Structures are given as C-alpha cells and as structure tokens.
C-alpha cells in the first residue's frame, strides 16, 4: 500500500513551505516564531513528564495504601454488629 500523500514531504515541498513562511512573517519575525515554538514544545514535554511522574506516584501510593489498610468487613463491621445484637 502506498503512503498517504499528506505525509510524503520532499525537499522541494519543505523549501516551498519555508518560502511561504518567510513571505508571511518576514525575516524579523521568523526567529521569534521559531523560539516561541521551541519554548512551547519544551513546556509541553515538561508537562507530560510531570503528569507521568504524578501518575506514577499516585499508583505507588495506591499500592502502599492497599498493603497497609485492613480488608473491608473486618474489625469495624464486626464491632458494630456485636453492639446491635446485645441490645
């Protein structure tokens, strides 16, 4: 099967895109645009890493909580039942 046309960019297409960007934004704004795109990518990657770290720490905390907490229906429920049956 052939690759979709949208994803086959050769050097000529990339050059054409760069020329259009140069005409649209001018030579003074292109470096600023490149820096802002780079900063956005860095912030996005940091956010993804932070979200991954938070997810991992929450998963570890759930694992610790499940090991430390008693199973449901042990001492609390049995003491309540004992109190109601004596009355």
- Quick check: is 75 in a domain? no
In a domain, 76, yes or no: no
Give domain status of residue 47, yes or no.
yes
Model pTM? 0.48
Q: Of residues 57 and 72, which shows the higher confidence score?
A: 57
Number of domains in the chain: 1
- Please state, in angstroms and rounded to a whole number, the distance separating the CA atoms of residues 70 and 7: 55
- The model's confidence at residue 84, banded by pLDDT at 50, 70 and 90, is low
Structure confidence by residue, pLDDT tens digits, 17-45:
989 988 888 888 888 888 999 999 999 99
- 3-state per-residue secondary structure call for the chain: CCCCHHHCCCHHHHHHHHHHHHHHHHHHHHHHHHHHHHHHHHHHHHHHHHHHHHHHHHHHHHHHHHHHCCCCCCHHHHHHHHHHHHC
């Amino acid at each position: 099967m052939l690759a979709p046309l949208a994803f086959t960019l050769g050097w000529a297409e990339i050059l054409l895109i760069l020329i259009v960007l140069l005409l649209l934004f001018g030579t003074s704004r292109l470096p600023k645009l490149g820096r802002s795109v780079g900063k956005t990518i860095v912030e996005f990657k940091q956010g993804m890493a932070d979200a991954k770290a938070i997810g991992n720490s929450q998963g570890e905390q759930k694992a610790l909580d499940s090991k430390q907490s008693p199973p449901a229906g042990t001492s609390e429920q049995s003491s309540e039942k004992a109190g109601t049956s004596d009355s």
